[in-house]
Structure 1
Amino acid sequence: MFSSIIDVLEEITNDKLNSEQKYEASIMLQMVQTYDFVFSLHLVMNILGITNELSQVLQKGDQYIVNAMDLVKICKKQLLMTRDNGWDSLVEEVSNFRMKFNIDVLDMNHMYCPQGKSRCKATKLTNFHYFCVDSFNTVIDLQLQELNSHFNEANTELLLCLACLSPTNSFSAFDKGKLIHLAQLYPCDFSTMDIKVLEYQLQTYVDDMRSYVKFSGLKGMVDLSKKLVETKKDKVYPLVYLLIKLALTLPVATTSVERAFSAMNIVKYQIRNKMGDQWLNDSLIVYLENDVFNAIDNESIIHCFQNMKSRRGQL
C-alpha cells in the first residue's frame, strides 16, 4: 500500500493542471519518505495492534464489559512489555521497511535534526534520544496513562457491577452481591432501607426474568429497560429499574463530559485564550448541541434578539 501511495503522490507531482495540489503532493512525498514518518508509522501500527481487540469490544455494548476489563489488563501488560523490550524489534522493523523503499539510513548516534530546520537551530539531542525517549517511551507512556485514567480500580469495579445487569444469555452475568454494591455507590438514590429491600427484590427479579419468554433473547440494557416498561415490570421492581436507569445514564454522562472537554480545545483555542467563562459556556452549548441549533432558522434568531432589545429599551 505504501508503494501505491508513493505512486499516486508522484503522479500528482508531475501533473501540470493544478499547481497548488502539485506543491502539496511534493511536500507530502518528501515527508512520507523520511525516517521520522516511517518510524512514527510503525510505532502507531504496533500500538493499534495491541489495543485493537479492546477497541472493538468497547464498541459492542454492555454485554462485553467483562471481556473488555480482561483486555484492559492484557493491553497494559503488553504495552509495558513493549516499552521495556520492544525498542530493538521496532528499529529492526523500520530498518527493513526503509531498505525496501530506499529511505535514507539514520545513525542513532548523530544529532537529531527535524525536517526543514538547520542543524545549528535544532535541539541538541541525539537521534537515539529523540526516537527512543521522546517518541517511543513517551507515546507508550501516554497510552498507559489513558488506560489507567479511564480504567482505574474504581472505574473497573463500577463497570463490572454494571455488567451484572446485562440480560444476555438468560442473565448469566447476574451477581446479586455486585448489584447491591452498585446501589451502595448511589447513597442519594438508595437509602439503607432501600438496600435491604433491593436485596430481596433482586432474587425475585432474576427468577422472574429467566422464566419469562418475553425477556429471552434481549441484547442489552436498553432492550431490557424497554421491555420492563412494556410489560409494566418497572412498577413491580422499582428499585431494580432505578439501578438500570442509573446504569444507562452513566455512559451518557461520561461521554458528554468527554465531548465537552474535547470541544473546549476547539472553541477556546490559542487566539481565544482570554475568552470569559460565560461566553465559553454559551459557545460550548451551541457547538455541542449543533443539531438543535441547526434546526432554528435565522429569522427566528433575529426575531428573538429584536424582542430582547425592545424589552431592554422599555426598562
Structure 2
Amino acid sequence: MDDMYVPRGRSRRFFAKVSNIHRFRVEMFISVIDLQLQELNSRFDEENMELLICVSCLNPINSFAAFDMQKLLRLAELYPKEFPTNDMTMTALRHELQFYINDVRQDARFGDLKGIHELSMMLVETNKHTTYNLVYLLIRLALILPVATASVERVFSSMTYVKNKLRNSMGDQLLNDNLVTFLERDLFSRVSDDDVLERFQNMKTRRMLL
C-alpha cells in the first residue's frame, strides 16, 4: 500500500503521484463518505435530525447509555396531541422517566436488549408498559415513525403513476380512490370482476344489468 499508485488503462498524467493507501483512503473512501453525508444533509433537515437524535435516546444498548431525559421530553413536545403541554402530562412524563430509567437499569431482564423493538416487547412481557404508560407511548411513536415515513414516501411515488398527463384534472376523491387501488393492488387482484359488477349494480337501480 506504500507503493506509488499505478492507474490501469489510462495515462498517468491524469493522476497525481500518490501512494496506493492515499488513493484508496483519501480519494475514494473519504470521498464516498463525503457524498453520503451530503446526501443525508439534503435528505434530512434540522427538525428531522433533532427527531432522530431524540428517538435514539430510547436505545437500551449498554444499559441505556444513550438515555437523556431532556431530549426525551423534547421528543414528547414534538407530538402535542399525545403529550399536550397545557396540562399535567409533561410533568407526569418527567416523573415516569425518572422511575423508569432506575427500574430498567436494575432489572437484569433488560440488560441484553439490542434495540427499541426488543425494549417494547420486554416492557409488555414484564407488564411494565402499564406502569410506565407514557414512556411506552413514546416507544410506540418511535417504532411507527419509520413505517409512517415509508408509507408517505410510497404514496408520493405512486402519484406519478396515477396522476399523469392524461389524468391531470381528476378530483381529490377520485385520486384517493385510484391511489388506494394502486397501492393495494395485490389485495384487489383477488377481487373478481363479478364481485365488482355486483357491487356497482347494487349501488343504485339501473335499467339493465352491467
Using the size of structure 2 for normalisation, the TM-score is 0.73
CA–CA distance in 1 between the matches of 2:142 and 2:176?
A: 27
Percent of aligned positions that are identical: 51
Give the counterpart letter for 1:163 in structure 2: S
Q: Of the candidates 166, 171, 182, which is equivalent to residue 59 of structure 2?
A: 166
SS in 2 for 1:280: helix
Residue 224 of structure 1 deviates from its aligned partner by: 1.8
The aligned counterpart of 1:50 is: 32
Pairing 1:109-124 to 2, within 5 Å after superposition:
none
Q: What SS does the aligned partner of 2:117 have? A: helix
Residue 183 of structure 1, CA deviation: 1.0
- The reply on whether 1:253 has 2:148 as its aligned counterpart is yes
Is the aligned partner of 1:306 residue 2:193? no
Per the TM alignment, residue 199 of structure 1 is displaced from its structure 2 partner at its CA by 1.2
Partner of 1:281: 176
1:202 counterpart residue number: 97
In structure 2, the CA distance between the partners of 1:235 and 1:52, relative to structure 1 (3 Å rule), is farther
| Cα distance between partner residues in 1 of 2:145 and 2:207 | 41
1:149 deviation in Å? 4.8
Which residue identity does 1:214 align to in structure 2?
A: R
Partners of 2:34 and 2:194 in 1: CA distance: 48
Call closer, same or farther: CA 1:294–1:219 in 2, change over 3 Å: farther
Equivalents in 2 of 1:285, 1:218: separation in Å?
A: 38
Counterpart-to-counterpart distance in 2, 1:262 and 1:196: 41
Equivalent residue in structure 1 for 2:68, among 150, 153, 175: 175
Distance 1:309 1:205, change over 3 A: same
Partner of 2:15: none
* Separation of aligned partners in 2, 1:276 and 1:191: 35
| Alpha carbons of structure 1 residues 150 and 53: separation in structure 2 relative to 1, 3 Å | closer
Aligned Cα root-mean-square deviation (Å): 2.8
294 and 52 in structure 1: CA distance in 2 versus 1, 3 angstrom threshold:
farther
**TM-score of the two chains, using structure 1 as the length reference:** 0.50
Q: Match of 2:63, as an amino acid?
A: S
- Quote the Cα distance in structure 2 between the aligned partners of 1:164 and 1:181: 11
Which one-letter code corresponds to 2:74 in the other structure?
H
Give 2:44's aligned amino acid. Answer: F
Alignment of structure 1 residues 125-140 onto 2, 5 Å: none
Pair 1:232–1:153, CA change in 2 (3 A): same
Q: Deviations over 1:185-242 (max 9, x none)?
A: 2222223411112112112112222222332322222222222222211100011011
In 2, Cα distance between the equivalents of 1:309 and 1:231?
A: 54
1:265 pairs, out of 142, 146, 160, with 160
Partners of 1:223 and 1:312 lie apart in 2 by: 60
The answer for the alignment partner of 1:234 in structure 2 is: 129
Instruction: Please list, as runs of the form range in 1=range in 2, the aligned pairs for 1:32-71 lying within 5 A after superposition.
Output: 50=32
Q: Equivalent residue for 1:98?
A: none
CA–CA distance in 1 between the matches of 2:74 and 2:206? 54
Match of 1:185 in 2: 78
SS at match of 2:67: coil
Name structure 2 gaps, 5 residues minimum. Answer: 1-27
Q: CA deviation at 1:284?
A: 0.5
Change (3 A) 1:211 1:159: same
Letter in 2 for 1:276: G
AA matched with 2:174: W
Q: 1:227 to 1:294 in 2, by over 3 A?
A: farther
SS in 1 for 2:161: helix
Can you list the C-alpha shifts for 1:28-78, whole angstroms capped at 9, x where unaligned? xxxxxxxxxxxxxxxxxx8xx726995xxxxxxxxxxxxxxxxxxxx22xx
Residue equivalent to 1:18:
none
| Residue identity opposite 1:154 in structure 2 | E
